[in-house]
Amino acid sequence: MSIRHGLLALLDQGPRYGYQLRTEFEARTGATWPLNVGQVYTTLGRLERDGLVAPHGEDEDGHLFYAVTEAGRAELRSWFETPVPRTNPPRDELAIKLAMAVTVPGVDVAAVVQGQRKHSMKALQDYTRLKGQALLADSGQRTDLAWLLVLEQLIFQTEAEIRWLDHCESRLTQRAAEPPVPQGATEAPAKPKRRSRL
C-alpha cells in the first residue's frame, strides 16, 4: 500500500500537518490500514527529500504544514494513471502457511483450512455488516464513498479467499484418494508422442 501516494493525494487538496494527514487518511480508509504519526512524518521527510512536498509554514501551536510541489502533483497524476502491477504480488501469509503445511509432516492441513475458513467467514460477515451500516450513514460525501469502496474490496477479497480455501480442500481430498508414491520412486518420463503420417 502506498502511504506516500496517499499523503500526496491529501496534500493535493491543501497544506496539512502530520496529525491531520493521519486522521484524514484513516477517515478515508475506515482505519483499515492504521498509520502512526511517526510513520506519517517519516514519509513526509522522504517526500520532502525527493522534492515532492515542501514545508508551508507553522500555525500558532507549532504545527509544521506541508504542501505538495509541482513535482509532487506530477508524481500523483502518474500514480493515478498507472495500473497497480501484479508482476510481483505481495506475500500472502495464508498462501505461505498452506504451502508450508502441506510439506511439513504431522500438520493437519485440513484443520488449518477449516480454521481459516471459519475465521474468513466471520470477517466476511463483519465486513458485510459494516457495509450495511455505511450505506445507511452515507451522506453523499466523498469520504463515505471512499470507505464503501474499501469495504467492498475487503468483501470481494475475503470471498475470493473462501473460494480458494474450498479449492484447497478439494485438492487435499483429491490427493488423499491417489495411491501413495513409493519412497525413492521417481515419476516415469513421459513417452514421446508419435507423429501422425498424413
The answer on 103 and 76 residing in a single domain is no
Q: Write down the pLDDT at residue 158.
A: 95
The answer on 61 and 16 residing in a single domain is yes
pLDDT in tens, the chain (198 residues): 589 999 999 999 999 999 999 999 988 887 788 888 999 999 999 999 999 999 999 999 999 999 999 999 999 999 999 888 877 777 788 998 999 998 898 999 999 999 999 999 999 999 999 999 888 887 777 778 888 898 999 999 999 999 999 999 999 999 888 887 676 655 555 555 555 554
Q: Which of 34, 51, 81 is the last residue of a domain?
A: 81
Q: Is residue 186 part of a domain?
A: no
Q: Measuring CA to CA, how many Å separate 20 from each of 10, 66, 93, 106, 161?
A: 10, 11, 32, 51, 34
Q: What is the pTM of this model?
A: 0.69
Q: Write down the pLDDT at residue 55.
A: 95
Q: Is residue 188 part of a domain?
A: no
Question: Do the beta carbons of residue 127 and residue 158 sit within 8 Å?
Answer: yes
Q: Write down the pLDDT at residue 12.
A: 95
Cβ-proximal residues to 43 (8 Å cutoff; 6+ apart), any chain: 3, 4, 7
The answer on 15 and 75 residing in a single domain is yes
**Residues in the chain, total:** 198
CATH of the domain at 67: 1.10.10.10
Q: Is residue 106 part of a domain?
A: yes
Q: Is residue 70 part of a domain?
A: yes
Q: Write down the pLDDT at residue 180.
A: 74
Q: Which of 81, 111, 143 is the last residue of a domain?
A: 81
The answer on 47 and 112 residing in a single domain is no
The amino acid that residue 86 corresponds to is R
Euclidean distance between CA atoms 51 and 57, whole angstroms: 16
The answer on 163 and 100 residing in a single domain is yes
Domain hosting 121: range is 93-179
Q: Write down the pLDDT at residue 176.
A: 82
Instruction: Specify the 3-state DSSP secondary structure of 68.
Output: strand
Q: Is residue 162 part of a domain?
A: yes
Cell of 147: 470507505
Q: Write down the pLDDT at residue 186.
A: 58
The answer on 173 and 98 residing in a single domain is yes
62 φ/ψ sector (left φ>0, alpha ψ -120 to 50, else beta): left
Q: Which of 32, 59, 81 is the last residue of a domain?
A: 81
